[in-house]
Structure formats: C-alpha cells, structure tokens
Chain A
Amino acid sequence: MSSTEPTEAPIESGGVGARVRRREDERHLHGKGRFVADYTFPDLQEVAFLRSPLAHARIEHIGKPERFPGQVIVREDMHTATDIVADSSLPTYKPSAHPPLASGKVRFVGEPVAMCFASSRAEAEDIAEEVELDLHELPAFASAFAARERTDVRVHDHWTDNLFLDLKADVNFDERAKDAPVVVKQKVDLARQCMVPMEGKAVLAYWDHTQAQLVVITSTQVPHMIRTVLSQCLGIDHAQVRVISPDVGGAFGYKCVLQQEELCIAWLALTYKRPFRFIEDRREHLIAGANTRQHHYELTAYADKNGRLLALDCDLLIDGGAYSAWPFTIGLETGQALGNLPGPYDFSGYRCHTQCAATNKPGFLPYRGVARTGVCFAIELTMDAIARAVGREAWEVRYDNLVRGADMPYTNVVKKHYDSGDFQESLKRAAAQLDVAKWRRRQKEGEPDGRLIGIGFATFTEQSAHGTAVFASWGLPVVPGYDLATVRITADGGLEVRAGIHSHGQGMETTLAQIANEVLGVSIQKIKVVHGDTALTPFSTGTYASRSIVMAGGAVAATCRELVPRLIKIGAHILGETEDAVRFEAGEVVGATGRVSLADIGHAWYLRPERLPKDVDLTGLEATHGFKPKVDTGAFSYATHAAAVAIDTRTGHVEILEYVIVEDCGRMINPMVVEGQTIGGTAQGIGTAFYEETLYDENAQPLTSTLADYMLPGPTELPPLTIIHMETLSPYTEFGAKGVGEGGAIAPPAALFNAVNDALSPLGALVSETPLTPRRLLAAIEAAKAAAREKAEAAAEPVHEVIR
C-alpha cells in the first residue's frame, strides 16, 4: 500500500517493478525542458488566427487589409492543402470535411477563418484585427438535443440530418428484462469541458534545404501519424516530411489527432520556405478547444429483488461538436461508450441506443478516459440507484454484480474480453480500507458542524492498449498494429533505445529504460531513450489509449531479447568457450573461465573486430523488433475508487474527507509512475466531478473563455489519496503489464457523486449532473424539499425509483 506521502525512497536504477526516480524530472524541475515555444529561428514568423465570432454563419466575404499584402491567408489561398477528412466504416457514420481554414461556413465560435503572420504574435494579432469578416448568421445548435430534432438547419449542409452516428445494440434485452421485479430509472449528464494541458497546441514548421524536407516541430502524442497525414493533406512524399515532437506540456488526448493549425503551419512553411510558428493561448484553448466529455444518458436497469442486474437499457446522446477528428473520428467516443457501458458487471441483457449529434461547438476529441468517464458515471450511479431501490448497501450490491475473479478470462455481454483480474477483490479491499462501518457510525452520530457525511464507490475497467482487432473493426484511417523499438549497444556498453511512441508525463524515458535494464542488465544511467522524432525512431502510431507501456515496452523487451544470442556468440568467442557453455546474466556473458561485459563486446564489435568470431552475426549490436499482444483486444486494467465526503447543506460545498484507490494494472514497471499517473488522472476526474464546465448561451457563444470562468482543481482541491496496488498479470503482454494512463480520470465523478448522494439520502435529494457546483447541490436539496412537500400533500409515487 502506498499513499500520496512517499513511502519508499526512489532509487536511481533498476529493472521491472523498481521505484526508479523519473529521469525526465531533472530537466523539467530545473526549467530546462524544451518546448515548441522555446525554439528560436532567424526570420521566424508568428501566426495569429482570425477566429469566428459566431457559432454558425455563412461566410459572405473576407476582406484582407491593404496595408499587409501577403500576410493574410484564407482557405482559398491554400490550393495545395486538402480538407481533413476522417472516415470510418462504422455503420451510419457520416464524415465531416474539416477545412484547415473555414470555407463557405463557420461552424463554431473560435473556428479559424484566416491566418495572419508577422515577426511577433502581437503584430500578427494587429493584422488579424484589420481583416474584415462579413458573416451571415445562421441558427446555431448549442444543444445536441436540439440538433438531433432538426433537419431543416444542418451543421453540414450535405447531410440529411445532424447525426454523425446512430448505433444500436440489443443483446437478449427483452428476454432478460421482462420478468425483472425491480426497475430503476436513472438520468445522468456530463458537461462539456476542455482538457487544459499546461501547454496548448504548439507547432513550428520550416523547410530544411539540406534535406529537402519539411520539418514540423509540434506538440503531439503521435509524431509518426502526423507525418503520415501531413504528407497526405499536402500531397508530398512521406520522405519529405519529418515530424519532431519535443517536450510536450501535457496532452491528454488533445494532441493525438491532427490539429487544423498543424496543417496550416506546415502549409505555410512548405509554401513560403520560411519558419512559421503558432502557439495556442489559454483563451483560444478554452473557446476553440472545448471538446470533450459531454454525454447525456437515460438508463433503465432491470434487477432482481437483491439488486442483481438482469438487463440494462440505455439511451445515450453525445454532443459531437462540429467536426470529426482525424484519425480516430467521433466514432471512437460513440463506439467506446456503447461497448464499455456494461463495465465490470456480469449481466446478459443489454440494449443501447447511442447517437452522436453535430452541434456548433468545437469537435469532440478523445480525452483521458475516452467515453469511459461517462459510462462509468452512468452505470455506477445506476448501481447505487438499484441499491437504494432494494434497500441494501451500495457496495454490496456492486460486489454481487461484478464479474468474479474465478470467471476470468471473461467475455461480457458486448463481447469485451476481460483478460484477467479480480474486480470483487479490488472493491472489497477498497471497502475495508475506507472502513464502511466507521463511516456509517459517524453518519448516525452526526457531525458537530451539521455537515452531512456520505460514502461512495465506483469500480471500472480500463481497456488499455487495444489494438488492431478493435480499431480495424471501426475502419479508421490508421489502425495500430505492431509497435517497434530499435535497441543499439554502444561501443562502451551503453544502450540507445528508440521508440516511436511519445512520452509527455508518462515517464517512459525511465520505464522503457527499466525494461531494457531488466533484459540486458545495463544500468539505466547508461541507457538513452530516444522518442518523438520520425527521423530517429521506428514507426509507431504513438501514445494514446494507455497503450505505450504495453506496446513500446513490449517491443523494447523483445528487441533486447533478440540481441542476447548475438552477445552470447561474441562473448563465448572472447572467452574461448562454446556458446553452450556460457550464459547471459545481468549484463555479462558468464562462462567457466570468466565474464565478458557488454562494454567488452561493444568495444570488440565497433573498434576491434579482429576479436570477433569469423562467423559473427553481421546484423551487429542493434536490432529493431516489433511487439503485439497475443490477444490485442485490450489488456483490461481496473480499479475501485472509494470516497468519503462531507456536505455543507447551507453553502453547497463538498469536502473530500478520504479517497481510496485500489488499482490493478498487472505488472507495474515502476510503481511510482503508476501512482503518478493515478494521482494526475484523479485530479482531472475531480475536475470533471466538481469544477470543469464550458458554458454556452443559446446561440452557442462560449461563456467560459478565461480561467476566471473555467474552473480547474488546484492542489488544495485534491485530497490525500490512498493507493493500493494489486498485480494480476495479463496473460497476453510482456511481463503481464497493462496500461494505466487513463484510469485515474475515469472513476472520480462516479465515486464522488455516489458519496454525495449517500450523504444527501436523509434529505431525499439526488444529484446526477457534472460538475457538481454549489448551486446544483443546493438546487437538488431545494427540489427534494419541494418534492417532499408535494408528496406529503398527494402521497405520490417516488419519482426516481420504481419497484414493480
């Protein structure tokens, strides 16, 4: 067990499972990181975008200022760039053509209409102010419900309605639901929000005359995919594009897609053969990057008298915004929601209707947790509603419904294949750590300050490192396959490890080195991990979907192993022994007559080849090898989050008193990194639960365009976390590792709302809409009071739960 107070001192080198201090922290803690904004180039032009002030309008005219000929670019100037179109083979899916600069219409406030450049950003903004923009306003959709209803006004004119997608699943629903004695209805809503990485979008591009290459330095999670798509959109060879992703100041999914600004800046550099840069500012982010989480659910659960779930019916509407991003498309969110809603539960009747509507907001992007924060919120609030309906402890009802460890591997109602784990055990441990009886006593006794106490739980699965099988079924433009790593032994016995993923907070400069250390025994001080440059690393689709430690980590292990026989051959020869007589151990070839170090072997290969065997393997001391899990539908991590809260019913303030996480991501390569990921994700989950919300008026004008209006959790809003690890190894991955990048962000809204609803139970009030602002909490209490008054008058049926 560990908590946010460090319990074990970090060490400087070690293999799989060691608490090695993150090597990347040194430069960041000393302010020596290098981000896109840190680069300097002679003649660098800074770009400002003129952005649409209206949510939906026809562009009548864009007037370039006469004073600045050539410093203003509109879509019609960019003949050599295509629109961004991400197709998908998902049934009913309609792609959107996303122009690099708006063309014909604007579809959300903040959509880039023109780009202006000058030697400073301020001057570029001066020019942008002088561009005349003549717009004819059209009715705008601020609500997905309104967009779904109307077909006469359309976000994309050539569509027949406003639906990106309309998916239905029905597995034995009627049969399983028909005799259920308990029927529970639950409505839940998640607000639209931003991802708010510390560094927003950032891209710089120039033409490298020596290489005849377009070099794009961009803050991205997926440098190789950006190279691919830029070459497609600009109509140039892959070899003519190099993408470098330097230090990235947080990404969270915001940077796993092609940003239209990346295409714009790349086009400028290619066209003018000068360096251009764009750095997104906070206001642009909050307006044009408000693009995630917004789900609206209506659920009906069918259960037996003990609360055992028999069937689940769900209507889900996702607010997709204006455009579907390349390569993942809005189908990712919609498909994941439909497929992950059943979560960790064992039930066999399921009906789900998921629609995704186009609205006049920025296009929906995959954010840490992708869809699962929403579905976890939906099913976990429903699970508590079932418990209330049958009058049992919520965690016990949850326990009875979870897939049992003995049933692993388990294939659920929508054919998700859970590879390993013991969900019930994680819940049991969380309940024990929280001490349910203690809180129930405290609840009964009451607080001296009058606050109400509540506890809540949420258990979820985190589909990590899902690969070819999953993505191919969605028919996306890019399907991840094998991940590659290149490992090279240097002449002094060090290692260069090259991987095509990108590390931007995940600590992979450390953990990939730990994996290499595990196989080859080289101290991690002598291992250099290279990532983030398409010229230096083998292809990978990149870092997203909690895939990198499984995929790139697996590739590093496999590649290091490939080198071992070559080392044995050379080592045995140097020792004068046969290959059978020696073994490779902790970085040395060990024989009866002595030991040969990696440095000896490196020295021999590079500098003294006369010492090598005559038939030495000429592939040398470097290798590139791929990895793909044996089953690549996903290694399922899971966790239970448990929270105790105190509610001030006068002010609507919620204090988190205790927060427990019991997580299982298989073999931890570095427990400290797992904890860091969990803590960071949980902070974002608390943001979703209590703070973050992009508000719009009825014309889809954003009302939260600065951090004075858009609230983020800070250090004082994050409670101490108790993190307990379980390690159930995946049978399909190297070391049994599973991804863990997203989990922290999935469960907090569910666990916290369940705790709040538990606290509110004496008042009969319920909350189910994120974020839980003081006003929403007080409004729920007021509504409960009003309902109680009505009930007293009319002895009406309870509204929320019906037992039939």
Chain B
Amino acid sequence: MKAAAFDYVRAATLPQALSELGASAGGVKPIAGSQSMGPMLNLRLARPSKVIDVSRVDELRSVTVSGDLIRVGAAITHAEIEDGKYELLRNDFMQYVASGIAYRAIRNRGTIGGSLAHADPAADWPLALATLDARIELAKASGTRRVRASEFMLGAFTTLLEEGEIISAVLLPKMGLTLRWGYYKLCRKTGEFAHASAAAAFDAQTGLARVMLGALDGPPAALEALAQSIAQHGPSAATPEAIAAGVANAMPNADAIDRSMHEATVERCLAQAFGSSGH
C-alpha cells in the first residue's frame, strides 16, 4: 500500500500553484494536509503524475477580514481553528466543530479547504459551512469566483471544482452575539465519521435561519420549512412531527432506523441551539 511514483512540487505562491495545476491538466492534484489525498495515493485510488503541495502557500495560510466576511485561507488546519490560533476565528461554533473532527493527529494536518474539496458526505465542514451560509472562494489561473457553501458540493466526493481550480478560501459571515447554533453528530466512537449529523444556525439580526442534515448519501440537505417555522414561531415549532417531516423529506430513501437517528440529531442540535445551556 505505497503510492505509485509521482512528481512533487511545493508551491510557494498561489499563482505558482495555479500555473502548475493549469499546465498539465488531469494528472496534477493539489495536496495540503494529506489526510484524504494521502490514503488515496497509498491505496493507488488516486494516481496523479504530479502533486502540488499548497500547504505552505501564504495566501492560503492567512485569516483576514474581507468586507463583511472573514476570509479563512483554505490551508488553515482544523487544529489551528480548534485552538483559537486566529482571533477572528475565536468563536464557539467554529472551534466546536473543529474540535470534533476525527482525531487530533488528523486535525493537526487536515485543512478546511482539503476537507471541502474531498467532499465526504459524512465530513463536518461541508455541513457546518453550508449551515452558516458561508461562501467558498475558488481560484484558477484565469481568476477567482465565489460560490455558496450550500451549493458547492454536488454529490458524494463531487464538487463544483473545475479542472485546474482549487479552493483558495472560505468566507464566513461574522458571527455575533445574536447567533444561536447547534451542531450534533452521531459517531460510533470518538473520531469516526458521523452516521447521522445535523446543524442549525439562527441569527435574528442577519436573518440567517438554517437547519441542515449531514451524513446523507449526497450533500447536506436543508430542512427549510422547519427552519422557517422556527424563525417565525420560535423553537417550540420544532415538534417531533415537524422534525420527522423535515427528515423524511430530506432523506426519502432512508429506512425508519436511519430516519430516527437523524431525527434525534436534529432534536438535539436544536436543543443545543435553544436550550438553557445554549449559546
């Protein structure tokens, strides 16, 4: 289980990385923390001719303010977010989500951009960032574009990313004191991928009102009716029936057991958002 031979380039700048990526289409893969690509290489499931290491590209390693948004470089690691290394990211939600990703050893190297690009349906960032209505900045040699996090993931391990394009940053709304959030996942054991997960974010000031399910067959799904009715009528609107209806709508092919596990995650994530011990 050793990787087939490939060339390795450590990019110093984003333009260099993008030009390397654009130069030899198809056979080139970007790599950052290597927590998904590494195993894929070793299992020989991914066989690029060249790997561009972007983990030390300055533009991908900074956290800055960009207008109303916080711009998080794609090569920021989960551990850096968990530890509150960047003041702009010192908030409960981001730190809470980061601290629950896999194991510390993985968090030490794994990056927010890498996790999004890999697009595992059971991963944390695709769900968490879609729930926050974050934007994702995609860069290629010809320019950059921004897409909604909730639209970035198309299916399991499939995203909007085009040939020669990488995730350069995640753009987060500033999270104020009025934000109420919940994040709950079921894992068979500490650090495992979730088999059911849910996130909720409500902010009266910005009008954000989202409840989303993760760990589905495809991308996270929004429980829009449920979120709207909670936004209008408060948490009491989240009756077991309303939750069950939302879950059934989001995962029509699931069996009763799967649905019941997801219902429990929604219930508990809402309890976290609105409970007495809330945020």
Contact = CB atoms under 8 A, between A and B. Distances in A.
A650 B260 contact: yes
Given A650-B264, A651-B261, A711 B188 contact: yes
A122 B2 contact: yes
B263 to A, nearest CB: 8
B178 interface: no
Interface in B245-265: 256-257, 260-261, 263-265
B186 A708 contact: no
Interface stretch (B89-97, B189-197, B213-221): B189-197
B191 A714 contact: yes
Interface stretch (A350-358, A436-444, A773-781): A773-781
A708 B42 CA distance: 14
Interface string A699-738: 0000000101001011011000000000000000000000
A45 to B, nearest CB: 15
B3 interface: yes
Contacts of B267: 650
Contact of B261 (A284, A691, A711, A774): A774
A284 B189 contact: no
Contact of A782 (B3, B5, B195, B257): B257
Centre residue among B2, B256, B261, B264 by max chain A CB count within 10 A: B2
Interface residues of A, number: 29
A717 B1 contact: no
Contacts of A778: 257, 260-261
Interface in A750-800: 773-775, 778-779, 782
Contacts of A284: 1
B32 to A, nearest CB: 19
A774 B189 contact: no
Nearest to A652: B261
Contacts of A526: none
Contact of B2 (A120, A653, A773, A774): A120
Contact of B4 (A126, A711, A716): A126
Contacts of A26: none
Given A650-B260, A706-B39, A775-B257, A121 B193 contact: no
Contacts of A393: none
A61 interface: no
Contacts of A651: 186, 196, 261, 264-265
B43 interface: yes
Contacts of B188: 691, 711, 773-774
A281 B261 contact: no
Contacts of B193: 708
Nearest to B261: A651
A348 to B, nearest CB: 43
A121 B2 contact: yes
Contact of B257 (A121, A716, A779): A779
A706 B193 CA distance: 13
A748 B44 CA distance: 38
Contact of A714 (B44, B190, B264): B190
A185 interface: no
Contact of B186 (A283, A653, A691): A653
A691 B261 CA distance: 18
Nearest to B256: A782
Contacts of B190: 714, 716-717
A122 B6 CA distance: 11
A125 interface: yes
A649 B1 CA distance: 40
A567 B10 CA distance: 69
A282 interface: yes
Interface of A: 120-122, 125-126, 129, 281-284, 648, 650-653, 691, 706, 708, 711, 713-714, 716-717, 773-775, 778-779, 782
22 contacts: A122-B4, A122-B5, A125-B2, A125-B44, A129-B4, A648-B264, A650-B260, A650-B267, A651-B196, A651-B261, A652-B257, A652-B261, A706-B39, A706-B43, A708-B193, A711-B188, A711-B189, A713-B189, A774-B188, A774-B195, A778-B260, A779-B257
Given A648-B264, A717-B190, A774-B195, 10 more contacts: A122-B4, A122-B5, A126-B4, A651-B196, A651-B261, A651-B264, A708-B193, A714-B191, A717-B189, A775-B257
